[in-house]
Amino acid sequence: MSLPQVNDRLCPDPCAGPCAGCPDRIVCHCLKVTEETIAGSIQSLSLRTVKQVTKATGAGDGCTCCHQHIRDLLAVHVEVSAGVYAEV
């Protein structure tokens, strides 16, 4: 029995396939915080660090495994909203 390829998945979590960027995609599995919640908080609250995201959303306050994903979201959403690349 072979495992499905990442790109063949419909939307299991975590996935890097065609559903990467789903609003319902879970980033923080410990606290069940979604990508949409984190991205929205980054933009609406002008968050710039993982610590700020954790305080605002709870994401990353468990095992800390999702910190790199949060950094990636900060890099994308801070750049988009401010027009510059953020130091995270």
Which of 33, 27, 2, 31 has its CA nearest to residue 13?
27
Domain ranges (residues) in the chain = 23-82
**In percent, how much of the chain has pLDDT > 90?**
57
Q: Answer yes or no: CATH 1.10.10.1100 is held by domain 23-82.
A: yes
> What pLDDT band is residue 2 in, cutting at 50, 70 and 90?
very low
pLDDT at residue 82 greater than cutoff 70: no
Q: 37-74 pLDDT, tens per residue?
A: 999 999 999 999 999 999 999 999 999 999 999 999 99
Q: Model's pTM, two decimal places?
A: 0.67
pLDDT for the residue numbered 53 = 97
Q: Is 60 left (phi over 0), alpha (psi -120 to 50) or beta?
A: left
How far is the C-alpha of 48 from the C-alpha of 4, rounded, in Å? Answer: 36
pLDDT for the residue numbered 34 = 94
